[in-house]
Structure formats: C-alpha cells, structure tokens
Amino acid sequence: MRALVRRPEAVSDLDAEMVAGDLRDAGAVRRAAEGCGLVFHVAADYRLWVRRPREMYESNVGGTRNVLEAARQARVERVVYTSTVGCIGFVTGGLGDESTPVSFADMTGHYKRSKWLAEQAALEAARAGLPVVIVNPTAPVGAHDVKPTPTGQTILDFLRGRMPAYVDTGLNIVDAADAAEGHCLACEHGHPGERYILGSENLTLKQIFEILSRLTGRPAPRLRLPWAVAFAAAAVDTLRAELTGAPPRAPLDAVRMARKKMWVSHARAE
C-alpha cells in the first residue's frame, strides 16, 4: 500500500509506503499512482471558511483531475473517489438520496461548489471509460480527526463549553471506521459511474448535543437560536475573519447550510 501525503511524519503510524507530495503537484500524484492497481482519492480541502478560495479549488478540483489522470496513465483497475453528502440533493421533510435532483446552484459556499465540480470531473472520467466509483460520506465522527474537520470542531467546542446555543438543523452522522469500510465495499462491489451515500443516523443538532451530554456528563445547550440571529452573528464573525485572517468560530457558510436538515438515505450503499 502506498500513500501520498504532504507531511509523512503526521501519519507515521500508517502501515504504508509514504510518498511526500501535494494533490496540486501532478508529477507527485503520478509517481504515487505508478504500479498501483487501485486508487482511493480521499483527500480534500475541507473548510467552511477560506480567505483565499482559489486554494480550495486548486486542491479539490485541480487535485482531483490530477488523480484521475494519474490513475488513467497507470491503467488501474478501480478508482474510488470520495465526494461529500453536500453534493446530494436534500428533501424538505424527507430524505435525499443519490437520485434526488440537485445542481451547482444548490451548492452553498466554496467547499460544496469545489466538491461539486470535482465530482463532475469524476463522473466525466467514468463516462470516458475510467472505472471510477463515487462515495458520498455524510458527517464522519471518529479517531484521528487531528485538524479537526468542521464536524469534529463542533464536538470539541461542546466539550470545551463553547456551545451555549444551537440552531434547528440536522445532520447524518457516520462512524469514520464504517465510512472507511464503505470505501472498500464500494471498490469491490460498486458500479463505475455510480454514487453511494456512506451514512448512518439522521439526527438533529439538539439530539447530537444530548448524546454528547449523556456520554460526558456536560450539560447540553438549551437555548435554541433563531436562524436569523445566527445568520447575523455569523455575518459579523465572518467579516472579522476576512479583516484579520483568523478563522471565524461560526462561518457564514455553515449557518447557510444549517437552514436545511441534511438528512439522507444510505439504502443504496447498504
């Protein structure tokens, strides 16, 4: 097994041959793919606020194209591309799935837009004959979330007592280990050009905090913040971030996303 990583020392316990490099470096990606039979493209710039959006598109869109081209040149047997549940259409009062109508216009913020464009590149490659299977994980929770991801940051904020209120929204939560297993199963059984949602349980944010409260003994926030108030606070916080360069605690795009419950069905993957 070989892994393309930016900083090998950060994943020194990984049982794999390390190739130092960046998704944006086509040569490094090509060297990493040489001789491989399978390629899993699981990397992305996952932030809900970025001061220089171009960086996100270079990594998520340009990087994906580099991986697809490297896989094509290496004549691999299968590519598994990790997209996101953000590219799935959501249904008010129901569950979205892989066939729910959705378009670029439905994408909120640079992260979702860049991942949408990257997913389109993967679908285009599949139509051209590259054996690409796409998986759309929901909100993974688990060990080794070292950065952390926005989902992990929400949990850390709760544990540190920085979550005084909540908004009426919902997420689908999945164990990171289950999502990893889903990648392997998609590689083995998935159909090229198809998408598979890797999810588990649909929960409101309030329910998530109540579960964390039971696990930790810390009180769950009881104040439900009206969406308009949350939007205004996030707008001010994001403006401060744009001026100072320090990431906002409540990115405006996160509040925009929270207007819809991101609830989905993972029946196809199951």
* Residues annotated catalytic, as ranges: 111
How far apart are the C-alpha atoms of 211 and 233, rounded to whole Å? 26
**Is the CB of residue 192 less than 8 Å from the CB of residue 126?**
yes
Position 57: which residue type?
Answer: Y
Q: In a 3-state reduction of DSSP, which class is residue 4?
A: strand
Output the DSSP codes for 73-141.
HHT-SEEEEE--GGGS---TTS-B-TTS---GGG--HHHHHHHHHHHHHHHHHHHTT--EEEEEE-EEE
B/e letters for 39-72, b = 16+ CB within 10 Å, e = fewer, are: bbbebbbbbbbbeebeebbbbbbbbbbbbbbbbb
How many CB atoms sit inside 10 A of residue 92's CB? 8
Contact 261, 205 (CB under 8 A): no
Q: Pairing between strand 17-20 and 2-5?
A: parallel
